[in-house]
């Protein structure tokens, strides 16, 4: 799985700077499967940028790379799929544009 996303990526905590970032935020997922072989965590992609086009474009690049990504069978990630298309969530208090998208995933329990 390869992406053309060019922004710095952060996990769970949104830094005040730089202006243009991608964030992967942990979210509640679905219950584990009955056989307890897989966990099903959720996550949210959050993209913030000085311009609308950068925020939207970078999140759509990530969406293209992640949603129902092919050739995942050789990894512990079984599946990733978007719950909806990326959407505009408004502007933050500094006027930066924000797009978000939520995902479900299925991973092999270790």
Domains located in the chain, CATH noted: 9-108 (3.30.2000.10)
pLDDT in tens, 49-67: 999 999 999 999 999 888 8
Token pair 């905590």 is at which residue?
Answer: 13
The answer to whether 109 and 77 are in contact (CB under 8 A) is no
Q: Is the whole-model pTM more than 0.75?
A: yes
**Buried residues in 77-103 as b, exposed as e (16+ CB within 10 A):** eeebebeeebeeeeeeeeebbbbbbbb
Task: Give every CB contact of residue 12 below 8 A, 6+ residues apart in sequence.
Answer: 23, 24, 25, 26
| Higher per-residue confidence, 70 vs 4 | 4
């Amino acid at each position: 799985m390869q992406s053309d996303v060019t922004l710095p990526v952060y996990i769970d905590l949104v830094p005040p700077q730089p202006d243009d970032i991608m964030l992967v935020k942990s979210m509640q997922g679905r219950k584990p499967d009955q056989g307890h072989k897989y966990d099903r965590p959720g996550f949210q992609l959050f993209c913030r940028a000085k311009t609308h086009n950068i925020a939207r474009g970078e999140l759509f690049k990530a969406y293209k790379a992640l949603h129902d990504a092919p050739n995942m069978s050789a990894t512990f990630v079984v599946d990733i799929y978007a719950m909806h298309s990326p959407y505009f969530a408004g502007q933050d208090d500094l006027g930066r544009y924000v797009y978000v998208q939520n995902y479900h995933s299925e991973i092999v329990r270790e």
